[in-house]
Structures are given as C-alpha cells and as structure tokens.
C-alpha cells in the first residue's frame, strides 16, 4: 500500500505555500506562516490529531493576512484529499469535544467527499494576539471545500477568543485523526458502496 502522504505547493502573486502531510506519522508538526497565533493553532490541530503536518507559508501579510490564511486552507485541503486517496477506505466519521479553561468546543466530521461547513463561534475579542479571529472562517471554508469534508464546528461558549479558537482547532484535530484512520475491514463505509459518486 502506498504511504498516505502528500506534498502540495501553491505559488501565486499573493502567497507562496508548501504543505507536507503524513496521515500515519506522529512526528512533531513544523509550522511557519509568519502569523504566530495561526502557527499555534495549526500546530495544536496536528499534534492532537496525531498526524504530521509541515506548513511553510509566506505572502502579503503586510497588506492583509486574509490571502495567506485562506490559501493555506486550500492547500491543506488538497493535501488531505491527496493523502487519503492513497490508502484504503476511511473510518470516515470523527467527533471530539475539547475544553480549554473557560471555553468548550466541538468538532464533527464526515470525510465523505461532499463539502459543507457549519461554523458557529461568537468571539468576545476580535483578536487572539495580533490575529483577527474572523479569518478562521475563511480558512475553514477553503479547507472543507478542497478536502471534501462535511465539517461542523461549534464553540459552545467562552470568554477568551484565544481559548475558544484553540479549543476549536484541538477538537478539529482529534476529529480529523479519527475520520482519516483506515477502516479495519477495508470496506467503504457507505450504503451506496462508494463515496466518489
């Protein structure tokens, strides 16, 4: 069986992004986007998901981090899709609820090839560090679209935007780790017999 790895590069006039993903390696993540809080939550997602992720990203963040954040989501989604296609059938579903101090976040995932994002989070502060938390929706939409994920994320409550976003990404990592495990019997977990049509 081919290793479930992917390396994807995207270069535009606005951003330059290289992502390496290994779904079956628990090696420590390596994240460098030039946006410290974004690095922090991507690291947490990968670490708690139990998969290796390396992100090298740069771009016109002096204009607005939006391009870099969204494009990172696009490339990460492509990497998940590519790596998963190299293995057997997936467990497909993942779910996790993670607390962090004052906050509680939940992630539910169906790696079914049909993208849909439900994202509910009301942040009390508009920034975590210098990072605008409204940018997270741009990342998540790009990621779910390109990976083909039905992704439901909710921060149920919280008083600190940093804690809320971090709990959300930890829960997403745990759910991704579950959903992208290979099914023990190797069979596609769908009554249709396929997830590709």
Q: What is the pLDDT of residues 52-62, one digit of tens each?
A: 999 999 999 99
**What pLDDT is stored for residue 195 in this prediction?**
54
What residue ranges in 83-192 does DSSP mark as E strands?
93-100, 103-110, 116-120, 127-128, 131-132, 150-157
Within 10 Å of residue 105's Cβ, how many Cβ atoms? 26
What are the tokens at 3? 């290793």
Using one digit for the tens of pLDDT, what is the confidence trace for 7-16?
999 999 999 9
**What pLDDT is stored for residue 188 in this prediction?**
56
pTM: 0.93
Would you say how long the chain is, in residues? 197
**What pLDDT is stored for residue 2 in this prediction?**
82
**What pLDDT is stored for residue 140 in this prediction?**
98
CA 61 → CA 14, 20, 23, 136, 174, distances in Å?
A: 9, 22, 29, 15, 29
Percent of the chain beyond pLDDT 90? 89
CA distance 15 to 13: 6
Position 194 confidence tier, pLDDT thresholds 50, 70, 90: very low
pLDDT (mean) for 81-105: 95
**What pLDDT is stored for residue 89 in this prediction?**
86
Q: Smallest Cα–Cα separation from 69: which of 115, 38, 47, 41?
A: 38
Q: What is the largest CA-CA distance in the chain?
A: 50
Angle, alpha carbons 184-79-188 (nearest 5°): 25
């Amino acid at each position: 069986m081919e290793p479930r790895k992917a390396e994807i590069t995207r270069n535009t006039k606005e951003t330059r992004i290289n992502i390496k993903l290994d779904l079956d390696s628990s090696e420590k993540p390596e994240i460098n986007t030039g946006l410290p809080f974004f690095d922090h939550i991507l690291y947490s997602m990968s670490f708690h998901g139990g998969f290796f992720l390396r992100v090298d990203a740069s771009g016109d963040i002096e204009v607005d981090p939006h391009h870099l954040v969204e494009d990172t989501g696009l490339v990460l989604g492509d990497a998940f899709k590519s790596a998963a296609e190299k293995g057997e059938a997936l467990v497909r579903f993942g779910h996790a609820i993670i607390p962090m101090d004052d906050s509680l976040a939940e992630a539910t995932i169906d790696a079914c090839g049909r993208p849909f994002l439900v994202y509910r989070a009301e942040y009390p502060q508009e920034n975590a560090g210098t990072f605008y938390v409204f940018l997270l929706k741009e990342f998540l939409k790009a990621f779910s679209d390109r990976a083909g994920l039905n992704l439901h994320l909710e921060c149920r409550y919280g008083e600190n935007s940093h804690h809320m976003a971090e709990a959300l990404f930890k829960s997403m990592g745990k759910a991704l780790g579950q959903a992208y495990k290979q099914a023990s019997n190797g069979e596609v977990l769908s009554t249709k017999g396929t997830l590709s049509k």
